[in-house]
A and B are shown apart, each in its own frame.
Chain A
């Protein structure tokens, strides 16, 4: 069974631009969660999508948004990029039956650098 895939793997943007990251979950998984990982803050939860609806949300500003499609693929968008948005963005998928209480499988991540 194929794992979680994320595209692109690497991205360089400049301040003020916007970016869209994509995540394809494991086949059969309906929940997709997004995380930001930085050396200073560690791994932080952004939001979770299930059945095309945002089910849970972390403490990030409104510049961070996402959506999920009917095939469970998810996209995350960051608008008006800031230098501090440079990070590894990880996506994780799970069956979604137990709302954040079940094993999540992580993708390889998208490394974003904001100049």
Chain B
């Protein structure tokens, strides 16, 4: 059965810390992996990864995909309170998209 598993489920860190969020998957006919940030509203797009080993970077956020080991990480450096949100990983495969349950990140000032 296709599945996307994110870890940890929740994380509390202090402002300025660096965090790494994990996403592992087993999806038939993998096509791409996406990361979203969801605050108290609809998810907003962060990254899409299709090729293994290529790092996508946007400011303090970066992500990399390992298609051989079937996982991706989302890295946030120098965290700020505005980074507090649920981070969702989604994988496109076999004509459908599957989301993980998300990692709830809370940044303490």
Give A residues with C-beta under 8 Å from B.
33, 35, 42-45, 55-58, 90, 99-109
Q: Name the prevailing secondary structure of the B interface residues.
A: strand
B41 adjacent to A108 (CB under 8 Å): yes
A100 adjacent to B95 (CB under 8 Å): yes
B84 contact set on A, CB distance < 8 A: none
Give B residues with C-beta under 8 Å from A.
31-32, 34, 41-45, 48, 50, 88, 90, 92, 95-102
A35 contact set on B, CB distance < 8 A: 99
Residue of A nearest to B47 (CB): A103
A100 contact set on B, CB distance < 8 A: 31, 92, 95-97
A106 adjacent to B44 (CB under 8 Å): yes
B42 adjacent to A108 (CB under 8 Å): yes
Contacts A43-B88, A56-B95; A104 near B45 (Cβ below 8 A): yes
Which residue in A58, A90, A102 is a CB contact (below 8 Å) of B42?
Answer: A90
Contacts A107-B42, A109-B42; A45 near B99 (Cβ below 8 A): yes
Contacts A101-B31, A101-B50, A103-B48; A43 near B42 (Cβ below 8 A): no
